[in-house]
């Protein structure tokens, strides 16, 4: 008998909340009218997404921006593979100073530049 009474109490609270909204469970920013063309100011990408966000923001065509973003990710994987192959071939740099290739330095500089822009 107590189980049925407890279930009814929970059901009444659930229905009151869902029908009348007694307890405000959501953040007030979620009640703002949506504008499709303007990103809200409180939405900020994380720091590791800023370069990709800058790429998408600076290229007006959405498809071209997506292709540039995918190409940059592929370049990152290709640079990792290039470094892996050169480290297997050249053992003389194993204990000395690391030598970075020109594409790796270019990628690092462009990453930090896009991080600063975004």
Tens of pLDDT along the chain (118 residues) come to 778 899 999 999 888 888 887 767 667 776 778 888 887 777 777 777 888 888 888 888 889 888 888 888 888 887 776 666 555 555 555 555 556 667 777 778 888 887 777 6
pLDDT for res 77: 80
What does the alpha-carbon distance between residue 22 and residue 18 come to, in Å, rounded to a whole number? 8
Report all structural domains of the chain as residue ranges with CATH numbers, in order of start: 2-117 (1.10.287)
Instruction: Tell me, rounded to whole angstroms, the distance of Cα 117 from its chain centroid.
Output: 16
pLDDT for res 10: 92
């Amino acid at each position: 008998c107590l189980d049925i009474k407890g279930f009814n109490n929970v059901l009444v609270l659930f229905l009151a909340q869902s029908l009348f909204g007694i307890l405000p469970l959501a953040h007030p920013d979620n009640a703002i009218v949506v504008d499709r063309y303007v990103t809200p100011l409180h939405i900020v990408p994380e720091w590791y997404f800023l370069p990709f966000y800058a790429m998408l923001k600076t290229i007006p065509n959405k498809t071209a921006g997506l292709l540039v973003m995918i190409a940059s990710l592929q370049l990152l994987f290709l640079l990792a593979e290039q470094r892996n192959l050169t480290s297997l071939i050249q053992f003389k740099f194993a204990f000395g100073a690391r030598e970075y290739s020109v594409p790796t330095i270019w990628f690092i500089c462009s990453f930090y530049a896009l991080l600063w822009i975004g």
